[in-house]
């Protein structure tokens, strides 16, 4: 089976590319390398068909999509803070880019598009844990763009018969996550600082909660979403199933690494939500998804990766 992975040089995308190759897929990658990194694909370059191009280019997207049976649309301009600083580019890549993917998939006869959405679309809507039928209320432009892209996916499923599945990721972490970006997520930032003997920097009081999800579980969810009967036009939460505070994250990482340092707290970040927790019942029932990696084992594997890479 031929599969296109947009954003295949990124964090989730590069992990997904490896899983697809292991399962015998013919893999095409489309990436502009704006945030994706070539080194993420270094050892598999000979095994993939790499297209360097931007999601905003309809021509580049169509060329990469030709012949694909499944499209895993991981490509995006990530980060809530980045979207606050530059909402125009965030919208262009994440909304217009998704439109290009859907149009190309429709035109070349792709069977199914699996779209990487985000828990950020829930925003500050009341009610925990989050479930797919509740009202959404995104705060930052990033969440708004993901919601718009989700809506286009559903529209293309209903109007054009293109099978689409949207997966709402909750705080993914794991190997190949970029710690160097100014918009880096908490896990790679904390790990790199603790490995240097430096204290993790926590924005706010650290009691904000997140439903951390190991990347291997996200990859499994994508593979299930591509193959399962049913689910077309639907949206699913993908999460670890148990929220943890940022303070708990920092403490667990310090214990795994063996670092004896206290976190430094700074001003809370704009656009952040206070609590996040996912109900994954719908993904269990329809996709057959079940998280297999615990919070601790996922962090241990991530620390081991960063240690070996340093």
- 109-160 per-position pLDDT tens digit: 999 999 999 999 999 888 999 999 999 999 999 999 999 999 999 999 999 9
Half-sphere exposure of 279 toward its Cβ, with a 13 Å CA cutoff?
13
Q: Can you give the pTM of this predicted structure?
A: 0.95
For residue 81, give both structure tokens: 């803070």
In CATH, which of 3.60.21.10, 3.40.50.9100, 3.40.50.720, 3.30.420.10 is domain 2-172+215-241+277-293? 3.40.50.720
Can you give the pLDDT at residue 180?
81
Percent of the chain scoring above 70 in pLDDT: 100
For a pLDDT cut of 90, what percent of the chain falls above it?
92
Which residues are part of the catalytic machinery? 142
**Local confidence band at 181 (pLDDT 50, 70, 90 cut-offs):** confident
The four Cα atoms 291, 297, 301, 306 give a dihedral, to 10 degrees, of: 110
SS3 track for 24-88: CCEEEEEECCCCCCHHHHHHHHHHCEEEECCCCCHHHHHHHHCCCCEEEECCCCCCHHHHHHCHH
Q: What is the pLDDT of residue 230?
A: 87
**Which tens digits make up the pLDDT trace of 6-44?**
999 999 999 999 999 999 999 999 999 999 999 999 999
Tell me the DSSP string of 130-153. Answer: B-TTS--B--SHHHHHHHHHHHHH
Per domain, the residue ranges of the chain are 2-172+215-241+277-293
* Residue whose pair of structure tokens reads 């952040």 in the numeric block: 272
Percentages (nearest 5) of helix, strand, coil residues in the chain: 45, 20, 35
């Amino acid at each position: 089976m031929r599969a296109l992975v947009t954003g295949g040089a990124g964090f989730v995308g590069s992990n997904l590319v490896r899983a697809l190759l292991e399962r015998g897929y013919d893999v095409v990658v489309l990436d502009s390398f704006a945030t994706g990194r070539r080194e993420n694909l270094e050892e598999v370059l000979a095994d993939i068909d790499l297209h360097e191009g931007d999601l905003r280019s309809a021509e580049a997207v169509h060329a990469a999509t030709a012949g694909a049976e499944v499209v895993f649309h991981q490509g995006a301009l990530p980060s809530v803070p980045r979207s606050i600083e530059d909402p125009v580019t965030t919208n262009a890549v994440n909304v217009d880019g998704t439109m290009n993917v859907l149009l190309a998939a429709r035109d070349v006869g792709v069977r199914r598009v699996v779209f990487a959405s985000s828990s950020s679309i829930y925003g500050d809507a009341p009610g925990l844990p989050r479930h797919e039928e509740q009202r959404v209320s995104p705060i930052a432009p990033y969440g708004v763009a993901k919601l718009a892209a989700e809506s286009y996916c559903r529209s293309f499923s209903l109007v054009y018969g293109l099978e689409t599945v949207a997966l709402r990721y909750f705080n993914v972490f794991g190997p190949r996550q970029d710690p160097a970006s100014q918009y880096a997520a908490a896990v790679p930032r904390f790990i790199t600082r603790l490995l240097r003997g430096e204290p993790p920097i926590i924005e706010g009081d650290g009691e904000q909660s997140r439903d951390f999800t190991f990347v291997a579980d996200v990859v499994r969810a994508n593979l299930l979403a591509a193959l399962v009967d049913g689910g077309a036009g639907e949206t699913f939460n993908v999460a670890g199933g148990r929220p943890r505070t940022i303070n708990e994250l920092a403490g667990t990482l310090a214990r795994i690494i063996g670092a004896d340092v206290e976190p430094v707290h700074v001003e809370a970040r704009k656009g952040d939500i206070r609590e996040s927790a996912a109900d994954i019942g719908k993904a269990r029932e329809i996709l057959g998804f079940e998280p297999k990696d615990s919070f601790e084992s996922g962090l241990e594997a991530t620390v081991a990766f960063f240690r070996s890479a340093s």
